[in-house]
Amino acid sequence: MSAIMDFLNNNGTELLIKTWEHLYISVIAAVLGIIVAVPLGVLLTRFEKAASPVMAVLGMIQTIPSFAILAFFIPIFGIGKVPAIIALFFYSVLPILRNTYTGVKDVNKSLLEAGRGMGMTGWERIRYVELPLSIPVIMAGIRVSTVYLIGWATLAAFIGAGGLGDFIFSGLNLYQTEFIIAGAIPVTILALIVDLILGKLEYKVTPKSMRDKKTA
């Protein structure tokens, strides 16, 4: 116990700074992912033929080891936070995109016909029908994606982006277990907290009448 206190006394401020860096690298990447993947997912439902090739390409990117991607971006974007965020962004896209596509595609076709027959424009159908009805599925994708990103962001330290990965890498290099633990535990806690917050957000943005059904 005293060892922990000692460690925190010596490294507490740094731990907070690294946690904050870690959080914002992940969150910015996730937000970028949402900004790109949600509209793209909706768009793919309009061009069914393009859907599977696009998904396949993104699936392939997903399978490239994250270390390799980070290394790959060094010659293009250099080192630091920007390349890390860009690399993480690539990882965030697929889960969100896939869930958006599936969620929007699974909206009951008769509702879309009713909407079209009533004189909704394409945009109004997305805004009033497709998005509200698929929001639980899209949110699930965002949650999964963000939690993964928080884990992967550890590797960003490798290209000098900072974050809790710094502790872990230092621990590995110096054979000091407490540094590894001091990096790993906050990452886990961070992931859990973010997941919890996103869960609450998911509940909030789900239309009222659909909340009961989900718990039922």
Partner 1 sequence: MLKFEHVSKKYKGGKIAVSNLNLEFKKGEFIVFIGPSGCGKTTTMKMINRLIEPTEGKIFINGEDIMEKDPVKLRREIGYVIQQIGLFPHMTIQENISLVLKLLKWPEEKRKKRAEELLSLVDMTPDYLERYPHELSGGQQQRIGVLRALAADQPLILMDEPFGALDPITRDALQDEFKNLQKKLDKTIVFVTHDMDEALKLADKIVILRDGQLVQCGTPEEILREPADEFVEEFIGKERLVQAKPNITTVEQIMNAHPVTITSDEQLSNAITVMKTNRVDSLLVIDKEGVLEGYIDVEAIDQNRKKAKSVADILNPDTFSVQKDALVRDTIRQILKKGLKYVPVVDEQKHLVGIVTRTSLVDIVYDSIWGDEELERAQ
* Min CB(207)–partner 1 separation in Å: 3
Question: Does 203 engage in binding with partner 1 (CB under 8 A)?
Answer: no
* 117 C-beta neighbours (distance < 10 Å), count: 8
Question: Does 193 engage in binding with partner 1 (CB under 8 A)?
Answer: no
* Min CB(199)–partner 1 separation in Å: 19
Residues, the chain? 216
How distant, in Å, are the alpha carbons of 12, 40, 93, 181 from that of 146?
25, 18, 10, 22
The residues, any chain, with a CB within 8 Å of residue 42's CB and separated by 6 or more, are 100, 104, 126, 130, 131
Q: Choose one: 73-81, 84-92, 119-127, 168-176; the region binding partner 1 (CB under 8 A).
A: 119-127
Site string for partner 1, 55-94 (x = CB under 8 A): ----------------------------------------
Q: Cβ(215)–Cβ(203) under 8 Å?
A: no
Question: Does 213 engage in binding with partner 1 (CB under 8 A)?
Answer: yes
* Min CB(109)–partner 1 separation in Å: 9
How distant, in Å, are the alpha carbons of 112, 135, 141, 144, 197 from that of 203?
24, 10, 14, 15, 10
Token representation of residue 56: 């396949």
Q: Among 118, 175, 204, 215, indicate the residue that binds partner 1 (CB under 8 A).
A: 118
Q: In sequence order, what E strands does 35-87 have?
A: none
Residues that contact partner 1, how many (by CB under 8 A): 22
Nearer to partner 1, 199 or 207 (CB): 207
How would you label 21-46 residue by residue, b for 16+ Cβ within 10 Å and e otherwise?
bbbebbbbbbebbbebbbebbbbbbe
Q: Among 2, 9, 63, 110, indicate the residue that binds partner 1 (CB under 8 A).
A: 110
Question: Does 128 engage in binding with partner 1 (CB under 8 A)?
Answer: yes
Rule CB under 8 A: which residues touch partner 1?
108, 110-111, 113-121, 124, 128-129, 132-133, 207-210, 213
